[in-house]
Structure 1
Amino acid sequence: MASDASRGESLERQQSLPTLPSKLTLDYLKKITNDFSPDRELGHSAFGTYYKGIRGNGDILAVKKLAENSPLPREKTFVNEVTNLMALQHENITELVSFCREAQIKLDQREGRYVAVHIDESLLCYKYLSKGSLDLHLFDETHNKIDWDKRFKIIKGICQGLRFLHKELDRPLVHMNLVPSSIWLDDNWVPKIADFGLSRLFGEQTQVYTKNVVGQNGYMAPEYLFNGEITTGLDIYSLGMIILEIVTGERNGANREDRAATKFVDKVRQDWKTDDDITCKYPSLTDFGLEQVKACIVIALKCLEADQNKRPSIEDIIDKLNGKFVPIFQQHE
């Protein structure tokens, strides 16, 4: 009988087109990522690590290796959920093209003895985007400075992707970990939300509350951070922080003592109040661009309301970005 590795090589020869089978072997994914080599790492998230997978025909995959023994459902449910996620198509979400789920036995040293431990290895394969994640461009000074038009395009694209997840599916899909590193960019600076289905895979979306609070300081809404409450308002809060970071080009600087990044938010309120403050940061800004920046700051600060009932919906946000009158934002004007 052929080994998993030889089946992977056979698969490679058969798949000369970009389309892949929905399920791949672990040996095959080890091969194309050089056994998950550190020099193939593309980035990390709260749920695992991305690796660059280079196929024999030159095609590249972004292979996400989920943390070992993540709280995933049984095989059948996992496959069903992943299959549903692979069917989702939108310009502003990453394309999930295949997956892997295999049981492995590893030796673990405990109290001086080696013990056989059963591990479920779970991996998700996405279409690779060469520009990488948004955080690489916002905060890395070695990259070219992003002009305001690109920043605004990115903000609108993220919002459109979030509207798809919140409003256009059979039930709202809460991302739960929306951060700059989970937003990828294509060659035309079109943003695409990644990691958008992990909350369903981990079963969190079947609950209103969770005890397993996972995320990055600065992006977690207070009702989730302190109470484990899961609603679309969680993503809206995260979006507000991301918009402030896109507008300012600065990290929010959250830490254990300032988990809500209040110092950063207060600094934005102080340093971006007037038209002169804004044009000082963007000297070549047109009058139309100035209004866009001001609208984005108003939106972001409203998204960061501690009371989730005072936050706007994603539809309110998109209407405001499109220049429409939206009552919920008036008090922040």
Structure 2
Amino acid sequence: MGRNLHVLRFTELFTIVGRPNIFSYGEIKSATDSFSLSNILGRGGYGPVYKGKLLDGRIVAVKQLSSTSHQGKKEFMTEIATISAVQHRNLVKLHGCCIDSKTPLLVYEYLEQGSLDQAIFGKTDLNLDWRTRFEICVGIARGLAYLHEESSMRIVHRDIKASNVLLDADLNPKISDFGLARHYKDSMTHLNTGVAGTLGYLAPEYAMMGHLTEKADVFAFGVVALEILAGRRNFDDSLEEDEKYLLGCVSFHILVLTSK
């Protein structure tokens, strides 16, 4: 997990744009009722995510970097640096972090309706009619447009997928999980980088050659949009062979329609 993973220097945090609030371990332990299992909201690439209530009454989501996580200090710092430097209604808001615990913690706003994948694939009472699904797609697109074109730095998220989009009480989507994000200058046409992200959402040119541009996020967004419209995951092993892959299914039907 890298040297001194659990010992993050304050000087490193203070170089980050936006200087996140620093919470004590005692505050977060109290807020989550000692990280009670009953407060677990889910598990991400970092580790478990807990629901908590701060002393000032704010409800928060606490991401804990588990000791077995494949992500480490670099991703932790990247997430803080990225989300502290941007602010948009379709990006999740970071309240702060905790670095005096055995495992680093990120403290985010709590979003009542959970993740998008739970809303469209799981058992839920949410009324995701066509208008709502359309607005969710538009919201995600606005968040990405901000990251790519409107923020103070040019950012590629690199892991856009349904589970990394959260929904607030009004079903407004907010992009989360910035641990794999990359920044680069306007003068650069692309970045040559190791491939990261989730299978099924990777743009072909990025997956094959490691050429990273905003188009990688746009491709992943297209997959998510198809999942939202179809109401199914991009891969479903329970279906017939020719229907398992959503992209293949859609491509086939488009071919049939255009050939008529």
Which structure: larger Rg?
A: 1
1:271-298 residue CA offsets vs partner (Å, 9 max, x unmatched): 57899xxxxxxxxxxxxxxxxxxxxxxx
In structure 1, what residue type is equivalent to 2:100? E
1:39-68 residue CA offsets vs partner (Å, 9 max, x unmatched): 322223334432111234542101112344
In structure 2, what residue type is equivalent to 1:44? R
Q: Which residue of 2 aligns with 1:171?
A: 153
What is the number of equivalent residue pairs in this alignment? 227
Distance 1:146 1:122 in 2: 35
Q: Which residue of 2 aligns with 1:123?
A: 105
In structure 2, what residue type is equivalent to 1:243? A
Mapping for residues 48-63 of structure 1, pairs under 5 Å: 48-63=47-62
Q: How many Å apart are 1:194 and its aligned residue?
A: 1.1
Q: Which residue of 2 aligns with 1:237?
A: 219
TM-score by length of 1: 0.59
Distance 1:53 1:36 in 2: 9
Percentage of pairs with the same residue: 33
Does the 8 Å contact 1:46/1:177 carry over to 2? no
Mapping for residues 240-279 of structure 1, pairs under 5 Å: 240-253=222-235, 263-270=245-252
Distance 1:234 1:45 in 2: 21
Q: Which residue of 1 aligns with 2:187?
A: none
Does the 8 Å contact 1:132/1:184 carry over to 2? yes
TM-score by length of 2: 0.74
Q: Unaligned regions of 5+ residues in structure 2, if any?
A: 1-19, 185-189, 238-242
Q: Which has the higher contact order (CA 8 A, sep 6+)?
A: 2
1:75-130 residue CA offsets vs partner (Å, 9 max, x unmatched): 9xx49x836633522111111111122364xxxxxxxxxxxxxxxx2221111111
Q: Which residue of 1 aligns with 2:88?
A: 90
Q: How many Å apart are 1:73 and its aligned residue?
A: 4.5
Whose helix fraction is larger, Structure 1's or Structure 2's? Answer: 1
Q: Which residue of 1 aligns with 2:192?
A: 209
1:73–1:142 Cα change, 3 Å: closer
Q: Which residue of 2 aligns with 1:297?
A: none
Mapping for residues 316-331 of structure 1, pairs under 5 Å: none
Distance 1:227 1:199 in 2: 18
Match of 2:97 among 74, 86, 99: 99
1:236-287 residue CA offsets vs partner (Å, 9 max, x unmatched): 11101000001111111168xxxxx983212224457899xxxxxxxxxxxx
Q: Unaligned regions of 5+ residues in structure 1, if any?
A: 1-20, 105-120, 256-260, 276-330
What SS does the corresponding residue of 2:250 show, helix, strand or coil? helix
